[in-house]
Amino acid sequence: MNLKELTNALKESRAGLDAFVAELSPEEIEQPGACGPEWSVKDVLSHLTACEAEVVTHLAKARSGKPPTKIDYTDAEIDAQNAGWFKAYRDRQLDRVLADFQGVRRQLQRQIDGYADAGLKSRPAWLKGKSVAERVISEVIEHDQEHLVGLKAWRAGR
């Protein structure tokens, strides 16, 4: 996948989430139960923002010649990190959550723009067989889509 294709895929992925959120009232966005019993849509957006920020950090480190120290986590580590993020971001104002959600995508795009097409296709050792583009797809685009499917199911089931 080249830079243009990856950029378009990121835009399409985000457009789906943006359209979903735009259809909700602020009260609906903050209603618990959208993802499990506790998480609201706002909490899911905070979660996606935090996960995407990790990818931004990894790409920035790699571009500076310092591969990330850890990219693979156990299920228990993921659950602990998600619980920590939930607690840390739970009380953030909705406007701040939405601004961060948009801002992290701009940061990701800046990191991706720093890669040439060959760099996006490269398979550095720290990615354990994946290309840079494949990592962005799995950690950002597919993650966004996974949560969007769940959020749509929540909304349909209310």
CATH number at 144 reads 1.20.120.450
Read off φ and ψ for residue 91, nearest 5 degrees: -95, 10
Half-sphere exposure (CA, 13 Å, Cβ side) for 44? 29
**pLDDT confidence of residue 152:** 97
At residue 142, the pLDDT reads: 97
The answer, yes or no, to whether residue 68 has pLDDT greater than 90, is no
How much is the pLDDT for 30?
96
The answer to whether 139 and 51 have CB atoms below 8 angstroms apart is yes
The model's confidence at residue 119, banded by pLDDT at 50, 70 and 90, is: confident
Please give the residue range of the domain that contains residue 123: 3-157
Residue 116's contacts (CB-CB under 8 Å, 6 or more residues apart) are 3
Which pTM does this prediction carry?
0.93
What pLDDT was estimated at residue 125? 83
Q: Is the pLDDT of residue 115 over 90?
A: no
Checking if the pLDDT of 55 tops 90, the result is yes
Residue 64: the pLDDT is 84
CA distance 146 to 135: 15
